[in-house]
Amino acid sequence: MSDVDPRLLAFRDASSLATTAHSRETASRGIRDVAGQLLRKREIPGFTITEDRYHGGFTLPKHHHRKAFLTFVLEGSYIETCEGVSSVCGPGTLRFHPAGEVHENDFQAGLRCLHVEIDDEILERLREQALVLNRPAEITGVASTWLANRLYIEFCRRDHVAPMAMEGVILEILVESARSNESAPESRSPRWLKRAREIVETRYLEPLSLSEIATAVGVHHVHLSREFRKHNRCTVGELIRRRRVEHACHLLARSELTLAEIALTCGFADQSHFSLMFKRHMGLTPSKFREHTATQ
């Protein structure tokens, strides 16, 4: 672990500081965010939404939050460790953390995130009607990618409809998180398979092959293919394509790159192949997606 910024040592006292840059208490309670820079903040009934920037080069020690929260990565990346499992959270990542869950963050580079702190009453009402995540998890799928980008767009808008729109989108994201929880594999994956998934999650933009991944984790590629599908309910290729489409969604919403440039960046053979895969997953073309997510 890298040296900890002296300002962050106070986080080791969980009884007095049960909050971090992701989940800050009100100023009246005397607890301030000492890790990140608050760029914007909006409050709507049941939710506190903030956009924060973090400088790289420090580790946020083990800590927990008093309230559940969502994190949507806008720029940069960080490594999050929960229950001994580390995950790379890059642009477009959407994660859920329940209240009281202990984790740590390694900010190796600069980062900009949207955080949504959720009041306990909201989750209690949801639990009366549907399953709600009770463990840390990444919320995946093109629907979640779409919703997270919509949330940021509404967050940036200042018209009188935006608060209602943000509330609706957040609730839809929580529904997607419940679906992710229902479809999660019940059996525990072997360590080598977790390593294989980590390779896919961190290198999905590269021209990976099944044999290359199998060699890296020390198993036969046929065994890898069979066990990966069994535990993840999708093939390696399906996960790679899904992650590439999700990354493309992020670039379409957050950058001015051309469709051809995005296709190349996301590992598609050409713009035609990119458009075909994108429409198959999203139900509309990349151009239409960019049009619908435009802030103007």
pLDDT of residue 53: 92
Q: Looking at the DSSP assignment, which residues form a beta bridge with residue 85?
A: 82
Same topology between domain 8-183 and domain 191-292: no
DSSP H helices in 77-220: 120-127, 142-156, 162-183, 191-203, 210-217
Please report, for the chain, the start and end positions of each structural domain, with discontinuous segments joined by +: 8-183, 191-292
* pLDDT value, residue 19: 34
Q: What is the mean pLDDT of residues 266-274?
A: 93
The model's pTM is 0.66
DSSP label at residue 267 = T
pLDDT of 124 above 90: no
Query: Which of 176, 142, 91, 94 lies closest to 281 in space, CA to CA?
Result: 142
Superfamily of domain 8-183: Regulatory protein AraC (2.60.120.280)
Pairwise CA distance, residues 116 & 50, whole Å = 7
Measured at the CA of 20, the angle between CA 15 and CA 25, to 5 degrees, comes to 75
| 161: CB partners within 8 A, 6+ apart | none
CATH for 191-292, options being 1.50.10.10, 1.10.8.80, 2.30.30.140, 1.10.10.60? 1.10.10.60
pLDDT at residue 164 is higher than 70? yes
Q: Which residues contact 62 (CB under 8 A, 6 or more apart)?
A: 12, 102, 103, 104
Q: What number of other Cβ atoms are within 10 A of residue 7's Cβ?
A: 10
What are 210's two structure tokens? 């099944």
What token pair was written down for 67?
């309230």
Closest CA to 6 of 52, 59, 55, 56: 59
pLDDT digits (tens, 9 = 90+) for 196-247: 988 998 899 999 999 999 999 999 999 999 999 888 878 999 889 988 998 8
pLDDT at position 129, please? Answer: 64
Polymer length in residues for the chain: 296
DSSP 212-264: HHHHHHTS-HHHHHHHHHHHHSS-HHHHHHHHHHHHHHHHHHH----HHHHHH
How does residue 176 score in pLDDT terms, banded at 50, 70 and 90?
A: confident
pLDDT band at 51 (very low <50, low <70, confident <90, very high): very high
